[in-house]
A and B are shown apart, each in its own frame.
Chain A
């Protein structure tokens, strides 16, 4: 199976005054293309730290991160930003849309920031131009393309955030507690949509979550405890709890 994310011997600690608090203590993780994986564990177990390092937002103290075949540790911040723009999609707990941009513009923004239009030929550019609206339509937001986030519900905003994460056709989508700010029915709807996207587009998802709902949709559940992977299991992942 193709590896889209390969993590080897990852360690990371933070300074807390005069002390160093270890967040990750030698984590190994392999994600194959198309996987739909939950990273679970109690607060402080290192989920967000692992997600940040996997998403090139942070750098490890030790260890290797290979993303879509490219080793990313030791790269400069500009190059890491390029990799984020090209190979990674993010979905956040609080949606984090840009309030002055419409749904379509929010979904399109990574294409601009990542220079996708600049690199594309005319045909590809035309395809990319249509993609934000297509994704939003696929996510049921065809009526909301020109609305700004403040005029949308939480579920709608999260769907815009999903479109934004998928618009660059990234190697992996990293989602940090994507349902935490949604009620259970909207959360279920969002997870169904994400699963659909996973199946339809072959996108790889890694969720950091406490939410059993999210876990129930995932075929694989990796448990982090005190900065180490304590469990890695597969399940039906059909959303049944």
Chain B
């Protein structure tokens, strides 16, 4: 029999009061665990969706990143076949795909809207982005679809377009010439990536290269490594390898003699000429050589900034819940101390020192914390596991979100976080018991003994 045993038995004295305190801690912990599970699930979903769209590392020609919002096609990676082969041969590289991104005006019947056009390598893009699984109407692109395209489902709705319809686009080639083409929709995709769903048109890389006059070139190379948490290391290795011995060419190819304005065709449809005469021997890209690279995290830092803010809010919610639970413990323990004042006097009379009284009541508060936290962990983990395996289907709300999220949100139960929350629950309960316990320990024995 020791002080701890006395503390444990102490919580059985007034079962209703103990139940209230334990419930407060249990509910607080349960809510915190569920919030963590949901938020971690949301973070994971966002990260998964981002990686599905961005890959682990993206490589560009120098200067592209700063201009990326304008989707420049004149800042492109050249010697693509050789570059891709070199990247594929590197350790830690699981997959690679190249794409040509360009902006244009999509037109169908009397409707027109700005679109994000992406030339993709069919097989590798499907492996990385999983497009073929996201076709909701029609089919995925094949090598035969020279002028075929996939279109985002929201974009298709806006343009009033369906499978086998033709969407025309107007854009500018890498030389600044206007270009236009007709693409036949072979499929509609629902990727849960807002950029693709709401404005995306996917076509074969070769077609995009041809339209943009980027032979054997791409605006973006997407690399998948073995571990997304090692993306920074992968990026550094890629850049070290690809930029090794690169001679930075500052020479910017100048357009040859401008063609007389009257001779410039409005649309350089399928034709490699634009507002400028194309030099005979131009090695793409037309800017300096070399690469710049960004990890998926760097590319989407604005999303993660929002997540960081949300984490701050979570900390605030957690603090409020803990304060409420602690207030309940303080109240219970103060009542316990008050009710047992005479008993405290007796304990002092038979030799208990202030420290021993303090330990008994601290132990009692910690016991409440252990029972409450354990109950909270069991309830929270139980519900968390249901959320992890069954998920939350938020139906139409999904498409209204500007974040890349799926239709069903699956929670993520993180055992370490649960252990930490459990320990926090016990610790905060013990701390909450400190004041009542100190009050008990400071009592004068004669006054305590007189108390009835």
Spell out A's residues near B (CB within 8 Å). Answer: 52, 55, 57-58, 77-78, 81-82, 84-86, 89-90, 92, 96, 98-101, 105, 108-110, 112-114, 164, 168
- Chain B hits for A164, CB < 8 A: 350
The answer to the question of B369 belonging to the interface, with a C-beta cut-off of 8 Å to chain A, is no
Give which listed residue, B9, B342, B356, contacts A101 with CB less than 8 A: B9
Closest Cβ of chain B to A20, distance in Å, is 17
B13 and A100 form a contact (CB under 8 A): yes
B351 and A82 form a contact (CB under 8 A): yes
Most buried by A among B1, B2, B349, B356: B349
Residue of A nearest to B349 (CB): A90
Q: Which of B1-17 contact A (CB under 8 A)?
A: 1-3, 6, 9-10, 12-13
Q: In the complex, what distance in Å separates the CA atom of A85 from the CA atom of B347?
A: 10
- Size category, B interface: 20 to 34
Give which listed residue, A89, A108, A114, A168, contacts B1 with CB less than 8 A: A108
A113 and B343 form a contact (CB under 8 A): no
Give which listed residue, B2, B3, B12, B351, contacts A86 with CB less than 8 A: B351
The answer to the question of B309 belonging to the interface, with a C-beta cut-off of 8 Å to chain A, is no
B10 and A113 form a contact (CB under 8 A): no
- Chain A hits for B354, CB < 8 A: 77-78, 81
Residue of A nearest to B343 (CB): A98
| A-B pairs with beta carbons under 8 Å apart, 8 shown | A57-B348, A57-B349, A81-B351, A81-B354, A82-B353, A85-B352, A90-B349, A109-B1
B446 and A57 form a contact (CB under 8 A): yes
Known: A84-B350, A113-B351, A164-B350. 12 other contacts (CB 8 A): A58-B445, A77-B354, A81-B351, A85-B351, A89-B350, A92-B449, A96-B343, A100-B9, A101-B1, A109-B350, A110-B350, A112-B1
What 0/1 pattern do residues 206 to 250 of B give for CB contact below 8 A with A? 000000000000000000000000000000000000000000000
A81 and B346 form a contact (CB under 8 A): no
Q: Which of B124-176 contact A (CB under 8 A)?
A: none
Q: In the complex, what distance in Å separates the CA atom of A101 from the CA atom of B445?
A: 21
Give which listed residue, A81, A89, A96, contacts B352 with CB less than 8 A: A81
Spell out B's residues near A (CB within 8 Å). Answer: 1-3, 6, 9-10, 12-13, 342-343, 346-356, 445-446, 449
Residue of B nearest to A86 (CB): B351
- Chain A hits for B343, CB < 8 A: 96, 98
Closest Cβ of chain A to B14, distance in Å, is 11
Q: In the complex, what distance in Å separates the CA atom of A109 from the CA atom of B356?
A: 12
Q: In the complex, what distance in Å separates the CA atom of A109 from the CA atom of B349?
A: 12
Q: In the complex, what distance in Å separates the CA atom of A85 from the CA atom of B350?
A: 5
B10 and A81 form a contact (CB under 8 A): no
Closest Cβ of chain A to B97, distance in Å, is 70
Beyond A98-B6, A98-B343, A101-B1, whether A114 also contacts B351 by CB under 8 A is: yes
Residue of B nearest to A52 (CB): B446
Which 8 pairs of residues, A with B, have the shortest CB-CB distance?
A: A85-B351, A100-B9, A114-B351, A96-B346, A113-B351, A81-B353, A57-B445, A110-B350
Residue of B nearest to A95 (CB): B346
Residue of A nearest to B346 (CB): A96
Q: In the complex, what distance in Å separates the CA atom of A110 from the CA atom of B350?
A: 6
Closest Cβ of chain A to B341, distance in Å, is 12
A99 and B13 form a contact (CB under 8 A): yes
- Chain A hits for B3, CB < 8 A: 112
A58 and B346 form a contact (CB under 8 A): no
Q: In the complex, what distance in Å separates the CA atom of A98 from the CA atom of B342?
A: 10
Q: In the complex, what distance in Å separates the CA atom of A81 from the CA atom of B347?
A: 10
Closest Cβ of chain A to B313, distance in Å, is 43
B346 and A92 form a contact (CB under 8 A): yes
Residue of A nearest to B348 (CB): A81
- Chain A hits for B348, CB < 8 A: 57, 81, 84
Q: In the complex, what distance in Å separates the CA atom of A84 from the CA atom of B348?
A: 8
Q: In the complex, what distance in Å separates the CA atom of A101 from the CA atom of B12?
A: 12
Q: In the complex, what distance in Å separates the CA atom of A132 from the CA atom of B347?
A: 17
A110 and B351 form a contact (CB under 8 A): yes
Give which listed residue, B12, B346, B351, B355, contacts A100 with CB less than 8 A: B12
Residue of A nearest to B450 (CB): A48
A98 and B351 form a contact (CB under 8 A): no
Closest Cβ of chain B to A51, distance in Å, is 10
Closest Cβ of chain B to A121, distance in Å, is 20
Q: In the complex, what distance in Å separates the CA atom of A80 from the CA atom of B3?
A: 20
Residue of A nearest to B342 (CB): A96
Residue of B nearest to A148 (CB): B9
- Chain A hits for B353, CB < 8 A: 77-78, 81-82, 113
Q: In the complex, what distance in Å separates the CA atom of A58 from the CA atom of B13?
A: 30
- Chain A hits for B12, CB < 8 A: 100
Closest Cβ of chain A to B440, distance in Å, is 14
A113 and B347 form a contact (CB under 8 A): yes
- Chain B hits for A86, CB < 8 A: 351
